Each structure stands twice: as structure tokens, then as C-alpha cells.
């Protein structure tokens, strides 16, 4: 086993790639509630921003077919222009690969629409290129639940590691004594982490501050 895979994610060893979270792509999603996916990918993006994880945004045929990046996600990085492509497999776009190489990091977190194409294809290609890939499955969506699950299974077969966005958030924080990001993480969890966020609100209300996970 590649020992570097055993190293947990931290703010200094990973890059986030968000692929094709666009209106036309959401229209075809049936694997999960679309609002849930939006909530999760925005939460993931905000987590990356809190920890200063390099984040690459990319779209496909934004002006001719799929529409722009959804506004909730673009608002997290208001000054960042997504890399627009024609390729289904974003790893076949030289501008995206160049952006990944520029970060000089081998661990890639990827979320995409659709799971069976826009997540699976670049994830497999990145593995082939020597990267470690973590597929953020609850910030991704497919045309059917079966397509989503089969794509995850296919990716696991080649070494892609499935994760969820709250798992990523907590793995980046890791220590509740890390005060420089604690408050931002708690606020993000309350805003986007569902029942976990409600639990934090309750703990803060009834027991005082500084109650983490």
C-alpha cells in the first residue's frame, strides 16, 4: 500500500476540484435531493476556504449548454473564474491539469456532476497520473442512484477513496483546540451540517461555547 494514502487530509496536502455544478447538470440528477447536493457542495467549498485549501472550479460548455456555475457556489469564490471545458473528462483539459500541477499537491478532493461521468472519468485518470483521489460523494450526484453507486464502486476498484463533506471538514480541523479555525468551522457546521449543526447550536445554547464534535 502507498503509505502516503495513510496520511490524513490536512490543509497543506490537498487540493479541491469542483466539477460542473451547473444548472443543466443538476436537471439530470436523480440520485439524491438536488438541494441537499447544493448544500453539501457549498459546505465543502466553504470548508476549503476556511482552511485555505487550493480550490479549482471548472464548468463544461457554460455559455452554450450547461449554464454558469450555480450562484451559491460562485459566491464562495466570487473573484475566481471557473475553467470552462468541452471535454467530459476534465483531466483531458490542459488548463485544468495545469491548475492541479500548479498546486504541487498529490491528494485531490473531487466533487462533480455527474458522478458516473464527470467525477469517475477524471478521478480514474488522476489515479493513473499518480495522484491520490478522494471522491466527495455527497457533494456529487448522478442520473440515477444506481449510476451513482456503480460509479463509486468502479472508482474504489482503481483506488479512489470515497469521503463525505463533513468528514473532510472534521479531518481538516482535527483538533478542537485549533482556535484559528474553530469558530468558522462551528459556524459552517451550524449553517450546512444538518442535525450535527443543530446539535452544536443546542450545546452552545444550553452548555456554553467550545463544544465540538
The pLDDT, as a whole number, for residue 5 is 73
1 part of a folded domain? no
The fraction of the chain above a pLDDT of 90, given in percent, is 92
Rg (CA), the chain: 17
181 located within any domain? yes
DSSP 116: I
Q: Which of 41, 53, 108, 118 is catalytic?
A: 118
For residues 127 and 146, give the distance between their C-alpha atoms in angstroms, rounded to a whole number.
Answer: 23
Q: Do residue 34 and residue 114 come from a single domain? A: yes
Q: Would you say residue 209 lies in a domain?
A: yes
Residue 92 lies in a domain: yes
Whether residue 203 is found in the same domain as residue 125:
no
Q: Are residues 138 and 180 in the same domain?
A: no
Count CA atoms within 13 Å of residue 7 on its CB side: 13
Co-location of 137 and 187 in the same domain: no
Q: Are residues 57 and 43 in the same domain?
A: yes
Report the 10 Å Cβ neighbour count for 30. Answer: 16
128 inside domain:
yes
Give yes or no: residues 15 and 104 share one domain. Answer: yes
Annotated catalytic residue 14: no
pTM: 0.94
Q: Over the stretch 192-205, which tens digit does the pLDDT of each residue have?
A: 999 999 999 998 88
Beta strand 161-163 with 14-19 is: unpaired
In this structure, are 157 and 184 located in the same domain? no
Identify whether residues 184 and 107 lie together within a single domain.
Answer: no
Domain range spanning residue 69?
11-173
Q: Would residue 35 count as lying in a domain?
A: yes
pLDDT value for 1? 63
Segment 104-134, tens digit of pLDDT:
999 999 999 999 999 999 999 999 999 999 9
* Residue pLDDT, tens place only, 27-40: 999 999 999 999 99
Element holding 207 (H helix, E strand): helix 194-207
Whole-number Å distance between alpha carbons of 211 and 190:
12
Q: Tell me: pLDDT of 187 over 90.
A: yes
**Domain shared by 197 and 108, yes or no:** no
The single-letter DSSP state of residue 61 is S
Amino acid at each position: 500500500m502507498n503509505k502516503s494514502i495513510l496520511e490524513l487530509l490536512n490543509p497543506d496536502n490537498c487540493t479541491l476540484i469542483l466539477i460542473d455544478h451547473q444548472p443543466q447538470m443538476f436537471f439530470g440528477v436523480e440520485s439524491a435531493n438536488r438541494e441537499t447536493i447544493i448544500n453539501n457542495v457549498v459546505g465543502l467549498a466553504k470548508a476549503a476556504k476556511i482552511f485555505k485549501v487550493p480550490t479549482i472550479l471548472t464548468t463544461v460548455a457554460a455559455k452554450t449548454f450547461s449554464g454558469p456555475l450555480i450562484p451559491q457556489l460562485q459566491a464562495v469564490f466570487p473573484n475566481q473564474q471557473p475553467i470552462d471545458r468541452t471535454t467530459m473528462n476534465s483531466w483531458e483539459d490542459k488548463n485544468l491539469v495545469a491548475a492541479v500541477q500548479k498546486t504541487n499537491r498529490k491528494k485531490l478532493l473531487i466533487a462533480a456532476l455527474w458522478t458516473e461521468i464527470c467525477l469517475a472519468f477524471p478521478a480514474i485518470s488522476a489515479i493513473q497520473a499518480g495522484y491520490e483521489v478522494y471522491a466527495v460523494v455527497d457533494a456529487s450526484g448522478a442520473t440515477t442512484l444506481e449510476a451513482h453507486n456503480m460509479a463509486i464502486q468502479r472508482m474504489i476498484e482503481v483506488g479512489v477513496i470515497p469521503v463525505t463533506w463533513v468528514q473532510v471538514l472534521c479531518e481538516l480541523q482535527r483538533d478542537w483546540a485549533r482556535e484559528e479555525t474553530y469558530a468558522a468551522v462551528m459556524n459552517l457546521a451550524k449553517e450546512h451540517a444538518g442535525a450535527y449543526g443543530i446539535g452544536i447550536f443546542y450545546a452552545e445554547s444550553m452548555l456554553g461555547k467550545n463544544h465540538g464534535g
